Structure 1
Amino acid sequence: MEFGFTREEEAFRGEILGFLDQHRGVDGYFHRGTDTADGVRRVYRALGARGWLSLSWPSEFGGAGLPPAYEFLLWDELAYARVARPPMGPGLVAKALMTHGTAEQRGRFLDNLARGRTAFCLGYSEPDAGSDLAAVRTRARREGSEYVVDGAKCWTSNAHWSDYIWLLCRTGTPQSRSRGLSVLIVPLDSPGVHVSPIPTLDGGRLNEVRFDGVRVPSADRVGAENEGWQVVSSALAVERHVQFPPKRLRRDLQDLVDWTESAGLADDPLVRRRLSELAVRVAEVEALALALLGEVTSGQPSAVPAAHHKLAGTLLAQDIARAAAEFDSPEALVSGTDVEFMWRQAILETIGGGTSEVMRGLIARQEFGLAG
């Protein structure tokens, strides 16, 4: 079994590092609010100009047709540099449009997504549904050639600077669960759309997005009516390998090591032992990430490997951040310091993209056949 990258892929990593030399000042990996939005969008446009937002797109849609490893390397290195996370538009949205979209939709969006000119956010979670997407209540009622949308989404990343929301809404009966959902593309400047900030524990911003009688042309529905579950599920399946880059953890650990040295703790044998334990776990998460990449590359079902990787990685992010407090340093509890920020930020990682409880439930049901 091969766990490394090809010579061509490693050469591409070198190109990425050269690109990052021009963009290391963009601190956009952590969503600290609107102050990073302009820098992140500049990075996306620069990536788009190189064709790097469409690396794995099929050539028939204007992509490079490269294996998923190229995407993995790109976002892994951008995570280590703290520059930016993968945008939803060229990833999940574009790949769903390739499979489920109309020719008109693909013509309208794909080129701008590939060039980093158009930004999407995901309208999935709701106040009363949380991570249970089958319980979505935001309602899209059909009136002739339009839908009228009422409801609310919450904890929506980047809605305050995105152009469109990829909206999962209910077009079936209230009891229809996953069988009554549809996906609509909604411009965020539409009449009746209201975006409000939700402050986060790390000082950043998520959003509530409310829909009050928002009219959306039925031509902007992706896939058939009431088949939105298939649209979001298939798109997620091809994006799992880039959603939690493991090099983010290697950077977290390196920052912790650097901090112990500056705090005069590096020679403490208990500190060194704890750092060694964390280093082993970082290597474990990297191995899980490569195993997941292998499943995605071979076209195998990847939901369970992705859940293992996400669960292990986000819990480790918390443990790396918590270690500074375990070393009895007051700085770890002082607001505004880097180590204190990392603790607050790491907590959010166990929630975004599916909570740890959801990941454990998925593993229990699909890998071990447990009911619940």
Structure 2
Amino acid sequence: MDFGFTPDEEAFRGEVLDFLAGHQGLNGYFHRGENTGDGVRKVYRALGERGWLSLSWPVEFGGGGLSPAYEFILWDEMAYARVARPPMGPGLVAKALMAHGTAEQCERLLPGLRLGQLNFALGYSEPDAGSDLAAVRTRATRAGDEYVIDGAKCWTSNAHWADCIWLLCRTGAQDSRSRGLSVLIVPLDHPGVSVSPIPTHDGGRLNEVRFDGVRVPAGNRVGDENAGWQVVASALAVERHVQFPPKRLRRDLQDLVSWLEKTGLSHDPVVRRRLSELAVRVAEVEALALALLGEIISGQPSAVPAAYHKLAGTRLAQEIARSAMEFGSSEALAKDSDIEFMWRQAILETVGGGTSEMMRGLIARQAFGLDSKG
């Protein structure tokens, strides 16, 4: 099995590294600092100007028509440089629009997404539903040519600076589960929408987004009414290769090594053995990421490889950060030091994008044929 990249893909990596040289210090991957949202939006616009937010879009939609490997390289290097994570708009939202949206929706929204001028937050999780999206209760009631929305979403990333929310809401009966959901595009500055902060223990911010009689045109629905589950599932299926880039872990390990050198612990044989073990684990996650990329490029089902990769990668992020505490330096517990921040942040990675428990459940069902009774 050949895990290598083509000469053209490696040449693109060189272009990405040149671009990143001008954006050092942003730290937008973790959103550390009050103004990182502004910086990240500027980065997205700069990427859009280069056509890098639409690398794998079909040419007929204004994209580059390139392999998903180009997206993987871009966001892997962005993660290593700590500059930014992949935006939801040009990725998940745009690809769902291409598959399920109307010609009018594509004409209206895709140019802004391609250029990094239109930013989306994902409105999935809810206070009473958590990660069980089939239990969503936020309701959209049809009223003539509009939908009237009432309810709330929580733990919503970037809603305080995004332009729109990609809203999964219930249009069928409450007990219809996944068969009664629809996707609506809702501008976040609409009357009746309110966004409140939810502080996270890494110093960042998630949000609660409430909808109180919010009216949006029926033309903002993506796909058929009550077919939102298919819209959401198909979009996630094509974005898995960029959501958890493995070079983030290589950077974590390198930062740990640099910290150990400063503290004088790097020559301890016990420490060196543990670092060797972690280096092997990083290589394993990189292999899982490349295997996942191969599945996506070849058009094979990728849910199980993606779950393996996400589960292994986010657990390893915690283990790398926790190692600093295990080595016994007091700085590892000093609030707001870089190494202590790494630990607080790594905990969140096992929740975002599907909890570790959800990943294990998916693997059990789809890879091993087990169900909740097994």
Instruction: Give CA deviations for 1:245-304 in whole Å, capped at 9, x if unaligned.
Output: 000000000000000000000100000000000000000000000000001101111000
Is the CA contact 1:246–1:313 (under 8 Å) kept in the aligned structure 2?
yes
**CA displacement at 1:25 relative to structure 2:** 2.6
Is 2:194 the counterpart of 1:194?
yes
Instruction: Give CA deviations for 1:162-186 in whole Å, capped at 9, x if unaligned.
Output: 0000000000000000000000000
| Counterparts of 2:300 and 2:122, CA distance in 1 | 25
1:134 corresponding residue in structure 2: 134
1:293 corresponding residue in structure 2: 293
| Counterparts of 1:145 and 1:198, CA distance in 2 | 34
**CA displacement at 1:34 relative to structure 2:** 3.9
1:77 corresponding residue in structure 2: 77
1:272 corresponding residue in structure 2: 272
CA RMSD of aligned residues (A): 0.6
Is the CA contact 1:182–1:222 (under 8 Å) kept in the aligned structure 2?
yes
2:32 corresponding residue in structure 1: 32
| Counterparts of 2:190 and 2:199, CA distance in 1 | 24
1:249 corresponding residue in structure 2: 249
Q: Name the SS for the 1:367 alignment partner.
A: helix
**CA displacement at 1:54 relative to structure 2:** 0.2
2:308 corresponding residue in structure 1: 308
2:65 corresponding residue in structure 1: 65
Given residue 129 of structure 1, which amino acid in structure 2 is its aligned partner?
A
Is the CA contact 1:307–1:359 (under 8 Å) kept in the aligned structure 2?
yes
Instruction: Give CA deviations for 1:108-153 in whole Å, capped at 9, x if unaligned.
Output: 1101100000000000000111111000000001111111000000
Consecutive unaligned residues of structure 2, counting only runs of 5 or more, are none
Shift in alpha-carbon separation, 1:287–1:22, aligned structure 2, 3 A: same
**CA displacement at 1:305 relative to structure 2:** 0.3
| Counterparts of 1:31 and 1:125, CA distance in 2 | 21
Is the CA contact 1:33–1:205 (under 8 Å) kept in the aligned structure 2?
no
Residue correspondence of structure 1 range 150-229 to structure 2 within 5 A? 150-229=150-229
1:323 corresponding residue in structure 2: 323
**CA displacement at 1:336 relative to structure 2:** 1.1
Is the CA contact 1:253–1:320 (under 8 Å) kept in the aligned structure 2?
yes
Q: Name the SS for the 1:175 alignment partner.
A: helix
1:364 corresponding residue in structure 2: 364
Q: Name the SS for the 2:211 alignment partner.
A: strand
TM-score, normalised to structure 1, is: 0.99
| Counterparts of 1:281 and 1:57, CA distance in 2 | 33
Is 2:231 the counterpart of 1:231?
yes
| Counterparts of 2:193 and 2:326, CA distance in 1 | 45
| Counterparts of 1:369 and 1:74, CA distance in 2 | 35
Q: Name the SS for the 2:252 alignment partner.
A: helix
| Counterparts of 1:25 and 1:198, CA distance in 2 | 25
**CA displacement at 1:81 relative to structure 2:** 0.1
1:145 corresponding residue in structure 2: 145
| Counterparts of 2:363 and 2:34, CA distance in 1 | 36
TM-score, normalised to structure 2, is: 0.99
| Counterparts of 1:16 and 1:155, CA distance in 2 | 31
**CA displacement at 1:33 relative to structure 2:** 5.6
| Counterparts of 1:330 and 1:265, CA distance in 2 | 12
**CA displacement at 1:27 relative to structure 2:** 1.2
**CA displacement at 1:358 relative to structure 2:** 0.4
| Counterparts of 1:58 and 1:278, CA distance in 2 | 39
| Counterparts of 1:261 and 1:235, CA distance in 2 | 43
Is the CA contact 1:32–1:205 (under 8 Å) kept in the aligned structure 2?
no
Consecutive unaligned residues of structure 1, counting only runs of 5 or more, are none
| Counterparts of 1:23 and 1:115, CA distance in 2 | 18
Instruction: Give CA deviations for 1:25-45 in whole Å, capped at 9, x if unaligned.
Output: 311000336420111001000
Given residue 29 of structure 1, which amino acid in structure 2 is its aligned partner?
Y
| Counterparts of 2:149 and 2:29, CA distance in 1 | 32
Instruction: Give CA deviations for 1:51-96 in whole Å, capped at 9, x if unaligned.
Output: 0000000000000000000000000000000000000000000000
